[in-house]
Chain A
């Protein structure tokens, strides 16, 4: 008797405990955010889960951007895909080409009956992840742009005016030559070499990277990165590399420590580097807009974004998509976006969040965080500065980096290197076109 009571009680208890869990639809969110940004992801998921009863967002950290995308692809191919996959900006073309494997965010929102107005988002950011017709394909999550970080103390030490950091490339070269007298191993440098010296450079000067609006209009695009501007820039860098007025810092952000340690006085990298600078730089610092060549007409144009967006993968149930849509609505909330922006240093994706932050006087204390936004909205984007969409972009960046490295090492001239980059890159584009254009 006692026993059966106990069993009945336990069954009831188990059923009670299990019911809410069963009724909840689980949404898997695979991401690549580390450090403080990981905490932000976890907090967003927790807040969302606490805000309603029907859905549960489960964030899973999958390693680097490439690891995360790899894992997502492998999982999709074997039918275990997550609902939401965070993909870095260079994976955009690959994701887009996979018809059926992804569900455009626009459709997710519409099908779920969520109110969705693409106009509330900042076009400089969502444009990168939209079709030419303005259909939003993925949901921008963490966006950044490239800025020039300035070590004000070092500038002063070199006898430069720290309140007027160099604006143009010729000024940068001049300043770097002086900086080299106080820090002989590095005048200035850049992280993410192709992003800085090819992609951003071209957009900022309104010069095409490739035909068909940098590939945004179709996969039959061809590279144009061996134009006079890019060749001239690379040739100058190669010349300055010889005496370390410019010193190469690699393909990724692994050497960003050269700025925070005070070695490089001028350093171009992501605006999202802010958190590290704040934590590690033991000197007075500032962020300035990217330099430009004043003799190029129309420069500066506007910068393009980097970072990652959230893709919704195909083959899930309507109930699950509804949960995803609700989560995106939750993320778009103005207060939340403003807070996200202010906490993480990533850019806000809605106009309202930007306005709100501006109105709050936030940028007065932290002007560094507004610089990327000013760059992005500097002018109305043209077909050369909306963004870029090349297939196999991850491998493409490797190829471009290889050729840049060959030029900087003096093995090739700038022209030879960029010609080779175009030729090899075009082969990759044709190969991508073969797999995707069906």
Chain B
């Protein structure tokens, strides 16, 4: 055993606690902000401890929205964000599993070409090509629809690459065994490969869910009606105001609410998430 010195453990505890406090502090302040009234905050007189305005702020955020800024209560926006995040996560995983399977388990003309076509898109975010993409979505009549909101964001290579990496580590013997059993490729895919990939899929789900939930510029352009708005947009609209007071209390309550679902997903699926990332990253 490596020396189990008390001093080392002490240092570890102290460092970790400091780290946690630093990471949590901004969120704590946001929470404090959501418990004071807007005037106190915009006058820069917010104390460091929670105030009396908690229930009012959250009630307003959840059920009525700020006075006219967004008009849609957070509730509706959360639903939209949830649909968007789920559709992106599920859609990406589905098409990526299929294409990774094709690239790894088959030999066919233009295999490399196909792989590179997908691969080049790996790190190019939608922001860089936003106007032309918007035009195409509009030409296809997909403005203000969940399809328009999600499908263009599904076109990315991260998931394909991760599944490809994972499939590479699956032992060849499994294919041979499956072939001996007389199973075709799709049978192998469904019965053998998918069950093996559960951890990777779970990890991918977490990553893509968060990616979808956190989108900003794209939903801002693509949704023109209030009831299609997502929560990140809603929050941003609450803060950037013209000649009107930012209702910081409701904005901060919304910020806290906007954080809850993705944080919950990360925490709940933590074990899969970490394991999946590490396995696929190998």
A interface residue numbers (CB < 8 A to B): 30, 32-39, 42, 60-65, 67, 70-71, 74-75, 77-80, 142, 144, 253, 257-258, 260-263, 270, 272-273, 275-276, 279-280, 282, 345
| Residue B271 is within 8 A (CB to CB) of chain A in the complex | no
- Please judge, given known A-B contacts A60-B225, A71-B221, A75-B224, whether A280 and B243 are in contact too, CB under 8 Å: no
Quick check: B138 and A37 within 8 Å, CB to CB? no
Query: Across the interface, do A61 and B226 meet the contact criterion of CB distance under 8 Å?
Result: yes
> Shortest Cβ distance from B268 into chain A, in angstroms?
33
Q: When the two chains form the complex, which single residue of A35, A39, A261, A276 contacts B45, counting CB atoms closer than 8 Å?
A: A261
Interface hit among B9-17, B47-55, B62-70, B110-118: B62-70
A270 to B71, CA, bound (A): 25
Which A residue's beta carbon lies closest to that of B66? A35
Residues of B within 8 A of A34 (CB): 68-69, 237, 241-242, 244
CB <8 Å contact, A263 and B134 = no
Known contacts A62-B224, A74-B131, A78-B139: does B245 contact A279 (CB below 8 Å)? yes
A253 to B245: give the CA distance in the assembly, Å.
10
Query: From residue A19, how far is it (CB to closest CB) to chain B in Å?
Result: 23
- The answer, among B42, B71, B236, B244, for a CB contact under 8 Å with A261, is B42
Kindly identify which residue among A61, A67, A78, A144 contacts B134, using a CB–CB cutoff of 8 Å. A78
Cα separation A60 to B247 with both chains bound (whole Å): 20
Assess whether B4 is interfacial by the CB under 8 Å rule: no
Q: A35-B69, A36-B68, A74-B131 are in contact. Are A63 and B240 (CB under 8 A)?
A: yes
Contacts of B45 in A (CB 8 A): 261
Residues of A within 8 A of B221 (CB): 70-71, 74
Alpha-carbon distance A253/B239, docked complex (angstroms) = 12
- B39 interfacial contact with A, CB 8 Å: yes
Task: Chain B residues near A142: list those with CB within 8 A.
Answer: 243
List 23 A–B pairs whose Cβ atoms lie within 8 Å, in order of A's numbering. Answer: A30-B224, A37-B242, A39-B68, A60-B224, A60-B226, A61-B226, A67-B220, A70-B221, A71-B221, A71-B224, A74-B221, A75-B224, A78-B134, A79-B138, A80-B143, A144-B243, A258-B44, A260-B42, A261-B43, A261-B44, A275-B243, A276-B245, A280-B42
Report the minimal beta-carbon distance from B116 to chain A, rounded to whole angstroms. Answer: 30
A63 contacts which chain B residues (CB < 8 A)?
Answer: 220, 233, 236-237, 240
Distance in angstroms between the alpha carbons of A297 and B241 in the assembled complex: 38
- Alpha-carbon distance between A34 and B138 when the two chains are bound, in angstroms: 27
A63-B237, A78-B134 are known; give 7 further A-B pairs, CB within 8 A.
Answer: A38-B67, A64-B242, A74-B131, A78-B139, A261-B43, A279-B39, A280-B43
Q: Give the residue name and chain of the A residue nearest to B237 (CB).
A: A63
Q: Which 9 A-B pairs have the closest CB atoms?
A: A35-B244, A38-B68, A261-B43, A78-B138, A272-B243, A34-B241, A257-B42, A64-B240, A34-B244
Residue of A nearest to B144 (CB): A80
Please tell me the number of chain B residues within 8 Å of chain A, measured between CB atoms.
Answer: 32
* A331–B233 CA distance with the chains assembled, in angstroms: 30
B135 interface residue per 8 A CB criterion: yes
Question: Which of B's residues lie within 8 Å of A, judged by CB?
Answer: 39, 42-45, 66-71, 131, 134-135, 138-139, 143, 220-221, 224-226, 233, 236-237, 240-245, 247
Establish whether residues B220 and A35, one from each chain, have CB atoms under 8 Å apart when the complex forms.
no
CA distance A64 to B135 in the complex (A): 22
Q: Looking at the assembled complex, report how far the CB atom of A3 sits from the nearest CB atom of chain B, in whole angstroms.
A: 34
CA distance A62 to B222 in the complex (A): 11
Complex CA distance for A96 and B220, rounded to whole angstroms: 25
Min distance, Cβ B64 to any Cβ of chain A, angstroms: 12
A324 to chain B, nearest CB (A): 18
Q: Which of B42, B226, B236, B242 contacts A65 (CB 8 A)?
A: B242
Distance, CA A34 to CA B65, complexed state (A): 12
- Which of B43, B71, B131 contacts A61, CB < 8 Å? B71
CB-contact partner of A273 in B71, B240, B243, under 8 A: B243
Task: Give, as a whole number of angstroms, the nearest-CB distance from A339 to chain B.
Answer: 17
The answer to whether B244 and A275 have CB atoms under 8 Å apart is yes
Are A270 and B243 in touch, CB under 8 angstroms?
yes
CB pair B245 A35 closer than 8 Å: yes
Contacts of B240 in A (CB 8 A): 63-64, 67
Query: In the complex, which residues of chain B have a beta carbon less than 8 angstroms from the beta carbon of A279?
Result: 39, 245
> CA of A74 to CA of B139 in the docked complex: distance in angstroms?
12
Min CB–CB distance A267 → chain B (angstroms):
13
- Which residues of chain B come closer than 8 Å to A71, judged between CB atoms? 220-221, 224
Q: A63 to B236, alpha carbons, bound, how many Å?
A: 8
CB distance from B205 to the nearest CB of A (A): 30
Complex Cα distance A64/B244, Å? 12
Contacts known (A67-B220, A71-B224); A37 close to B243, Cβ less than 8 A: yes
Of B67, B139, B226, the residue contacting A35 (CB under 8 A) is B67
Chain A residues near B237 (CB-CB < 8 A): 34, 61, 63-64
Smallest beta-carbon distance B241→chain A, Å: 4
| Contact indicator B245/A280 (Cβ below 8 Å) | yes
Bound complex: CA A62 to CA B240 (Å) = 11
Closest Cβ of chain B to A264, distance in Å, is 12
Which of B66, B138, B233 lies at the interface centre, i.e. has the most chain A CB atoms within 10 A of its CB? B138
Given contacts A79-B138, A260-B42, contact A253 B220 (CB under 8 A): no
On chain A, the residues within 8 Å of B242 by CB distance are 32-34, 37, 64-65
Contacts of B69 in A (CB 8 A): 34-35, 38, 61
Closest A residue by C-beta to B225: A60
Contact B71 A36 (CB under 8 A): no
Q: Provide the bound-state CA to CA distance between A77 and B243, in Å.
A: 29
CA A78 to CA B138, docked complex, whole Å: 6
Contacts of A35 in B (CB 8 A): 66-69, 241, 244-245, 247
Question: A291 CA to B233 CA in the complex, in Å?
Answer: 40
Question: Chain B's nearest CB lies how many Å from the CB of A265?
Answer: 14
Most chain B CB within 10 A, of A80, A258, A263, is at A80
By beta carbon, the residue of chain A nearest B233 is A63
